[in-house]
Amino acid sequence: MQRKELGKSGIFVQPVGMGCWAFGGGAYWGSQPQKDVEAVVHAALERGFTFFDTAEVYNNGESETALGKALAGRRAQAVVASKISPSNAAHVRDHLTASLKRLGTDYLDIYMLHWPINPLSVRHYSAEKPERLPEIEDALGQLAEVKKEGLIRSIGISNFGLRQMEEVLAAGVQIDLNEITYNIVSRAIEAEIVPFCAQHAISIVGSMALQQGLLTGKYGAPEDVPPPQAHSRHFHQSRGGAESRHNEEGAEAEIFETLTHLKKISDETGYSLSELAIAWVLAKPFIASTLVGCRNISQLELNIRACDITLDADIIRRIDEASLPVWKKLGDSPDYYENRKNSRIY
């Protein structure tokens, strides 16, 4: 596998990283036995897949705890990334210390601001309304301090838009990556974020390569998608239950038409929809690595197979064309959970 460096960090990662949101179990993804977490983490390490991504908010810290237990005795083999919520950005050291304790390690390879610091972002991570928002310059300054002390190796951002990245760069702190949603039916970053990151040597780590299971082909219709996975703007506002807050009509017809095209390509090539979806992301030269949720060995093996697929240029073109109506319908806002006129990303 060809590994790519994240920004100027000196940290190299393989094409597919393991998204650990489901680790530790919880209401969003359901239960996840620790023995399964350990089995898939150990199998990944043995196969050379060493990049693991988690966050303090994932299952209220249980994701970090589960990953830490799985990496016990093997921490040096892994590249571990975690994130701090925007509501906690005024207290970086305290929250980093808590994450390190849960992970059972004395350093993180990558520590990211999970979302930009703005009122809408903070509202989704804290029931308390702070007297004032943390200043981005202050948060970045604190991150620079803990990096200098060796508690983290690299500073990253997640879900930052063009203007927000400009503010980050103005602070003069080295940022190595922007982790953000990118997949066949979520292409908004191509408009502005990709060119900006290329210009400023900020690596892009894609998340949700399979759009939370949608691109595996396991759902035959929008109503088959569980509400927790249907509260994004991809779906009608009624699909996600209480979690749906975007008040948009979605792009359900366009998405399932795209899936029909993907199934035809799947039949032609012999690749599964999941393999096609991951391989398509990896074919994009601006992607340093893509994160894929992985709960068991069979899913890991699928991800590994996808890394070995080189899609023909015509196949990539056909997928691009098939998914273009979805992009046009959803627009250029990369925040797929808020109304495009009231986005956390700008």
Backbone φ, ψ for residue 95 (5° rounding): -75, -35
Catalytic residue among 58, 111, 219, 271: 58
The alpha carbon of 327 is separated from its chain's Cα centroid by a whole number of angstroms, namely: 18
The residues pairing with 155 across neighbouring beta strands, listed in sequence order, are: 111
Helix (H) or strand (E) holding 44: helix 34-46
Query: Quick check: helix, strand or coil at residue 53?
Result: strand
Q: Is 111 among the catalytic positions?
A: no
Q: What Cα–Cα distance (Å) separates residue 289 from each residue in 3, 53, 216, 266, 278?
A: 9, 11, 19, 23, 10
Spatial CA neighbour of 129 closest among 120, 139, 140: 120
CB distance 282 to 15 below 8 Å: yes
The C-alpha atoms of residue 194 and residue 342 are separated, in whole angstroms, by: 21
Q: Which residue has the tokens 């890394």?
A: 307
Is the separation of the CB atoms in 1 and 169 below 8 Å? no
Distance between CA atoms of residues 216 and 274, nearest Å:
5
DSSP string, 278-321: HHHHHTSTTEEEEEEE--SHHHHHHHHHHHT----HHHHHHHHH
5 and 51 in contact (C-beta within 8 Å)?
no
Largest CA distance in the chain: 58
Residue type, 255: I
Structure token pair of residue 60: 């209220």
Active site residues: 58
